[in-house]
Structure 1
Amino acid sequence: MTGNPAHRRWLMLAIGTGGQTAMTTVLYGLPSLLPAFQREFGLSLAGAGALVSGPILGILLTMVGWGLVADRRGERFALAAGLLPAAAVLSVAAAVRGATALAVLLVLAGACGASVNSASGRLVIGWFPPHRRGIAMGVRQASQPLGVGLAAAVLPPLAEHAGLPAALGCCALLCAAVGGVVLLLAVDPPRPPETGTVRGPGPYRGGRLWRLHGAAALLCVPQFVVAGFALVFLTTARGWPAATAGTVLAVANLAGAGVRLLAGWWSDRVGSRLRPMRLLALATAAAVLLLALGAAAAPPLGTAALLLATALTVSTNGLHNTAVAEHAGPAWAGRALGVHGLGQHAAIVLVPPLTGALVTAHGFAPAYALAAVFPVAAAALLPGEPAAPAGETAAPSLDAASAAPRTPA
């Protein structure tokens, strides 16, 4: 593929964002089908929550491996090798009628789709210079609330009017379409030349990356408590029709996508991923605590706080993914993002069933109050700013020459 590299990088951003959006409908959008799973299989809320955790378990099994594949074989190969098999698995899932068989297939779909989490981030980071990575990763990370919003708007009506197989088939079609685009148009970013020198010890010395991994994992918990049970909260605690709730949540997730873009732009302007991330973590804690208070004593306040928390809980994802890739460098970015994603999904794999059980036993307010603790802990765990070389301000550490062309945009 030829053409202006400045134009190409935006095409690669669109492809990476499209791949993440398609897989998000499966990896994180299935909670919008919780009522449908309960109706179809006669499950409790906790049981349906365990079913939608299947893709997350699949991610845990393969995330680091896909990062290694992206480092060794390239982003295009990893994306296509994950999206197209995921589409095939979801097609089979649409045809099964048992909860156990569906659970196994959802685990397999997550195992395939994990490639997108590592490879699409590496694709974006590799094509953009440091001063534009924040906004670029903000666009890419906006795909997650967009995918969740798409799932909330489309999947419940499909399941209600055409059946659960139609909803799962829609997810399969999305993955197949984007996988085809990847094969046709995706181009791996430039790589640093092999020098033949002995490779260093890697980016994990000093513990900085581990603290980033840990903080990101903590921030994922309130995100999944809020997003995973938003539809259930609005339909059961507030008595909204499922279609209305899904539409409103789709709009809230669009706002979340906008917040991610603003967070990325902010981090580029201040030359730091961590300062905005820490402040947004504290704002997230306040929003989720307000949601708990509203759920306990003032339902209209709870509804407004739910929409605010839906946007804020997703605000930091682009920042910590960018920080990890920049600190790891081009040779390690895929694996570091794989470990990063592994930690996040390990933290949330039990969130849907445990939150479902807590809500069933004690209501929404305690679940939200507990979730508010995690972003406070994340803000405390975040490392300080990296040391800057003499004469420079603290800046992202991944050299533009090693991960992206220096042509003007």
Structure 2
Amino acid sequence: MSETGMRNGRAWIILAISTAAQSASSVIIASGAFLIPALNDPNGGYQLTLAAAGTVAAMTTAGLMLTLVLWGLLVDRAGERVTLMIGLSAGAAAMSAPLLHQVVRGEGIEASGPVALAGILLAGGMAAGSANAASGRLVIGWFPVHRRGTAMGIRQMAQPLGVATAAVSIPTVAALHGVAVALAIPALLSLLAAAATALWVTDPQRPSRTSPNFSELRKHPYARHTGLLRIHASAVLLVIPQFTIWSFALVWLMTEREWSAFTAGLLVGAIQLAGAGGRVAAGAWSDRIGSRTTPIRIIAVTAAVTMGALAFTDLRGMSIAIVLLVAAGVITVADNGVAFTAAAEIAGPFWGGRVLSIHNTAQNAVAAAVPPAFGATITAVGFPATFALAAVFALLAAPVVPSAIGART
């Protein structure tokens, strides 16, 4: 096999491991939310109010946001492999702590109260942030420009796959065997990903000091006209319709369309899986046309039109609103991988970790604000007006997208 063929084969192996690492981290982040039924169970070990259970569950996301930029700095200084190994191992240790406590002390973690569990989930979330920057940088470093969009789209499938894994395992195991055993699931997945990283991951080569463009690549990516801030801003605006659908599709189907929780859950799960495929398709599209920004802009306009149509058909009580909900759920997430790729290409090999972490932190901050803000909006003015408001944010994103980016890879 030629050297090029060997590199291509290795790139796909590293993509698979990067996706697995990101999926394991996504399971950690999602585990908090899927523990809420066990925490809120009046006959369970915690018996928390829904508000208190939600606060404990939010600790994984809080930990993620606290450390994302620090993990990005470590990626840029120490490399992707080391960062992944440290973060995944720390995540496995944190999430296995309740089970170890149960084995050693002979009592469940419930005896230590909700504060102890909140601390464990916070630590797990802090560790999970390592995969966000490191796995993305691995993909950018190992794949050539004409394949990066597709590869990053595949890597971006990790989030819905991780959420789906958590959804089908964490609540059931927690109900049957307790919180400690449920949290052993993300611990095991993180441990397996850490082992795979140690065995098969190699950092991509970075330009040496003798390279003709070394000085240019070392420059601060925000200090030049690269379009990076506009990529961040457009991605943040598009998070709003995305999380409007993710947060309220289930309750809309159940309250406005009178679907059962089971049937509505099946459709929401199908939307998640279709959205994962949409990310790959958008990435492949950007590779084929040689532009990251054109697909993002078209996706923004299409998302605005779809959300607007959803608002109108819901107001009129039309059945096609359900079809538009599915379409909106796929379209509003399609830009994620392309925008992530664009940000990484602008950042270059020496700033990628920090830039991708900043990108994720901004998106997560806005995403966290969507459920309470738009929940209040739904209460005040109803679903149609809320969907229309989300459409406005998608429309605002279109002119923010730069016409081109100053890629440095």
TM-score (norm 1): 0.83
Q: State whether structure 2 residue 102 is matched by structure 1 residue 67.
A: no
2:367: which partner in 1? 348
- After the TM superposition, which residues 16-55 of structure 1 pair with which residues of structure 2 at under 5 Å, given as runs? 16-28=18-30, 31=33, 38-39=40-41, 41-44=47-50, 50-55=55-60
Which of residues 137, 148, 151 is equivalent to 1:136? 151
Alpha carbons of structure 1 residues 258 and 223: separation in structure 2 relative to 1, 3 Å: same
1:113, distance to aligned residue in structure 2 (A): 0.8
Q: State whether structure 2 residue 284 is matched by structure 1 residue 269.
A: no
Question: Which piece of structure 1 moves more, 330-339 or 24-33?
Answer: 24-33
* SS of residue paired to 1:310: helix
Query: How far apart in 2 are the matches of 1:243 and 1:159?
Result: 19
Alpha carbons of structure 1 residues 305 and 166: separation in structure 2 relative to 1, 3 Å: farther
Percentage of identical aligned residues: 43
Alpha carbons of structure 1 residues 157 and 247: separation in structure 2 relative to 1, 3 Å: farther
**Bigger RCO (CA 8 Å, 6+ sep):** 1
- After the TM superposition, which residues 226-265 of structure 1 pair with which residues of structure 2 at under 5 Å, given as runs? 226-235=245-254, 237-265=256-284
1:188-208 per-residue CA deviation (whole Å, 9 max, x = no partner) reads: 112211339767532112262
Query: How far apart in 2 are the matches of 1:142 and 1:5?
Result: 23
User: Post-superposition, which runs of at least 4 consecutive aligned residues in structure 1 deviate over 6 A?
Assistant: none
Question: Which piece of structure 1 moves more, 320-329 or 344-353?
Answer: 344-353
Query: How far apart in 2 are the matches of 1:31 and 1:310?
Result: 20
Q: State whether structure 2 residue 134 is matched by structure 1 residue 119.
A: yes
Alpha carbons of structure 1 residues 231 and 157: separation in structure 2 relative to 1, 3 Å: farther
Which of residues 295, 302, 308 is equivalent to 2:327? 308
Query: How far apart in 2 are the matches of 1:166 and 1:373?
Result: 44
Query: How far apart in 1 are the matches of 2:142 and 2:215?
Result: 26
| AA matched with 2:80 | E
1:165, distance to aligned residue in structure 2 (A): 4.8
1:124-169 per-residue CA deviation (whole Å, 9 max, x = no partner) reads: 0000111111111111112222223333444444455555555433
- After the TM superposition, which residues 78-117 of structure 1 pair with which residues of structure 2 at under 5 Å, given as runs? 78-92=83-97, 96-97=109-110, 98-117=113-132
2:104: which partner in 1? none
Query: How far apart in 2 are the matches of 1:217 and 1:340?
Result: 8
Alpha carbons of structure 1 residues 4 and 177: separation in structure 2 relative to 1, 3 Å: same
Question: Which piece of structure 1 moves more, 200-209 or 127-136?
Answer: 200-209
Query: How far apart in 2 are the matches of 1:53 and 1:258?
Result: 28
Q: State whether structure 2 residue 196 is matched by structure 1 residue 181.
A: yes
* SS of residue paired to 2:349: coil
TM-score (norm 2): 0.83
Query: How far apart in 2 are the matches of 1:255 and 1:223?
Result: 14
Size of the aligned set, in residue pairs, is: 388
| AA matched with 2:344 | A
Which of residues 325, 328, 335 is equivalent to 2:354? 335
Aligned 8 A contact 1:47 1:353 in 2: no
* SS of residue paired to 2:296: helix
Please identify the structure whose Cα radius of gyration is greater: 2
1:4-31 per-residue CA deviation (whole Å, 9 max, x = no partner) reads: 2221000000011111112222335755
1:287, distance to aligned residue in structure 2 (A): 3.0
1:111, distance to aligned residue in structure 2 (A): 1.5
1:361, distance to aligned residue in structure 2 (A): 6.0
1:407: which partner in 2? none
Alpha carbons of structure 1 residues 53 and 187: separation in structure 2 relative to 1, 3 Å: same
Q: State whether structure 2 residue 63 is matched by structure 1 residue 58.
A: yes
Alpha carbons of structure 1 residues 103 and 86: separation in structure 2 relative to 1, 3 Å: same
1:231, distance to aligned residue in structure 2 (A): 3.8
Q: Structure 1: where are the runs of 5+ without partners?
A: 387-395, 400-409
- After the TM superposition, which residues 358-369 of structure 1 pair with which residues of structure 2 at under 5 Å, given as runs? 358-359=377-378, 364-369=383-388
1:218, distance to aligned residue in structure 2 (A): 1.8
1:100, distance to aligned residue in structure 2 (A): 4.3
Alpha carbons of structure 1 residues 110 and 367: separation in structure 2 relative to 1, 3 Å: farther
Q: Structure 2: where are the runs of 5+ without partners?
A: 100-107
1:172, distance to aligned residue in structure 2 (A): 2.7
